[in-house]
Amino acid sequence: MSKIAIIGSGNIGTDLMIKVKRTSASLEVAAMAGIDPGSDGLARARRMGVATTHEGVQGLIALPCFEEVAVVLDATSAGAHRHNAAALAPYGKKVVDLTPAAIGPYVVPAVNLGDHLGEDNVNMVTCGGQATVPIVAAVSRVAPVRYAEIVASIASRSAGPGTRANIDEFTETTARALESVGGAERGKAIIVLNPAEPPVIMRDTVYCLVPGCDEAEVAASVKEMVAAVAAYVPGYRLKQDVQFRPADGGTLVSVFLEVEGAAHYLPAYAGNLDIMTSAALRVAERLAAR
């Protein structure tokens, strides 16, 4: 078993810890670091026999088990990650960044994980990026994508302080990933925090403008990619068949998705958080195995 540490004892960090405990055959959570000594995440970690500290990354480094840690997963914020990455750099740990800081290359497991296993720091883009970049990549591998636009709609109740503090970074990071990983010539991202009660499941809409395409080939590529993502995010699925309609400059491809969470720690409607932890777990397993 390879040992990992988690920085961040909020919703994402806690869900990640529980997900590793319940589903991973190759990883063991050795430590969790936070900054709130009263957080539920740190309390749960202690009950699960995980070493804890409320002194952040410096407290993590000081823990006796830190030397055995192979991979550190950072579930804090973009600003905090820059500080954490600098503090961890001298120790040679692999770092998986679940914030929009994007110090390292963007990684979407179903698209480009194999290209970045040698990196010291990899970035998980955003929840919207993990959900939609694979679809843009699926279209772009069979037809040139001149423009990609995504709309990620999530339950307001599933957007914690970290998500809300990173809204600007979310749109910028996701748009860049649509281009650099998805293959679009130009990308745009929009996020909607839906206040509906009861909370709604995560929904994502992907629009791709292509100059022309074989519709059957595009639809088959998208369905293949959805299956690849669902292999590590079981609640990821198409809402309906891929749509095509004429548009200025070519054909508009529309893909409608939903992401249901596994409810390991968070409610099932919080698919936006579950897709991040599921993707990060897949990356951590591959990095540790390497």
At 223, give phi and psi (nearest 5°): -65, -35
**Would you say 10 is a known binding-site residue?**
yes
User: Which residue shows structure tokens 């670091």?
Assistant: 33
Q: Which of 65, 127, 208, 213 is catalytic?
A: 127
Establish whether 165 is an annotated binding residue: yes
CA-to-CA distance for 123 and 170, rounded, in angstroms?
Answer: 13
Q: Is 239 helix (H, G, I), strand (E, B) or coil?
A: coil
Active site residue 213: no
Instruction: Say if residue 159 carries a ligand binding annotation.
Output: yes
Please give the radius of gyration of the chain, using alpha carbons only, rounded to the nearest integer. Answer: 19
Return the exposure string of 96-123: e unless at least 16 CB atoms fall within 10 Å of the residue's CB, then b.
bbbbbbbbbebbbbbbbbeebeeeebbb
Q: Is 158 annotated as a binding residue?
A: yes
Compute the distance between CA of residue 247 and CA of residue 60 in angstroms, rounded to an integer.
53
Judge whether 161 is annotated as a binding position.
Answer: yes
Contact assessment for residue 279 and residue 98, using Cβ atoms and an 8 Å cutoff: no
Is 163 annotated as ligand-binding? Answer: yes
Q: Is 261 one of the annotated binding-site residues?
A: no
Query: What residues are designated binding site for NAD(+)?
Result: 9-12, 158-166, 272
Query: What residues are designated binding site?
Result: 9-12, 158-166, 272
Give catalytic residue positions.
127
